[in-house]
Amino acid sequence: MTKNLIAGFAPFPDPPALILDYIAAWSAEESVVDGPLPWDLGALPAELIAPMPTWLDTVCRWLNQTYAWQPQDVIPPCWKEHEHLSYEIAALAFARADAYEVAGSAVIWHEQYDRFVTRMNKTLGKSGDECRVGRHDERPARFQLAAWPPPVADDAEEPKSAEPIGEMT
């Protein structure tokens, strides 16, 4: 008797209800919502960012369980402390929902996932190995980034730098 392996596949985690409601309101034909799309984490108001860490953590666990066959494919448990990963994981998670509406798009999503893993490994570098086993270190480029002088105040109308809305905890 052979074991049915396909029956054991876990479904992709659904976004939080608040986010689904926001997407529905934003994409309605006569929408009055004039806000950012939910994968743009840095632009979201606090009430929309609040449910994201828990959901994105569930997404990371699902991606690791489903796709991480080799150690370098594992999204580290400290992904929230890597801002670039948070942005990419959100975009990848929302893109997956759209991708599975058409089979060919699902293939493209898997290519996007592969490129995400490549970028993740490039940006994490050697510290990624430590992060994956639970030994997160501060950002390796912190000293180089600290060398940047503070922005100069100018009377001219300059775009303001983005202020973080809070940590994803």
DSSP assignments along 10-54, one per residue: PPPPPPPHHHHHHHHHHHSTT-------TT-GGGS-HHHHTTHHH
Q: What is the pLDDT of residue 161?
A: 56
Q: What separation in angstroms does the CA of 75 have from each of 88, 128, 139?
A: 11, 9, 16
Kindly state the tokens that stand for 33.
């919502």
Specify the DSSP class assigned to residue 99: H
What predicted TM-score, i.e. pTM, was given to this entire model? 0.80
Tell me the mean pLDDT per 10 residues along the chain, length 169.
68 94 82 81 93 97 96 96 94 92 90 97 90 85 82 67 55
Domain residue ranges in the chain: 42-136
Q: What is the pLDDT of residue 1?
A: 54
Kindly state the tokens that stand for 6.
């396909």
22 vs 39: CA distance, rounded Å: 12
On the CB side of 91, how many CA atoms lie within 13 Å of its CA? 12
Q: What is the pLDDT of residue 146?
A: 82
- Which contiguous run of DSSP H or E holds residue 94? helix 83-99
86 vs 31: CA distance, rounded Å: 28
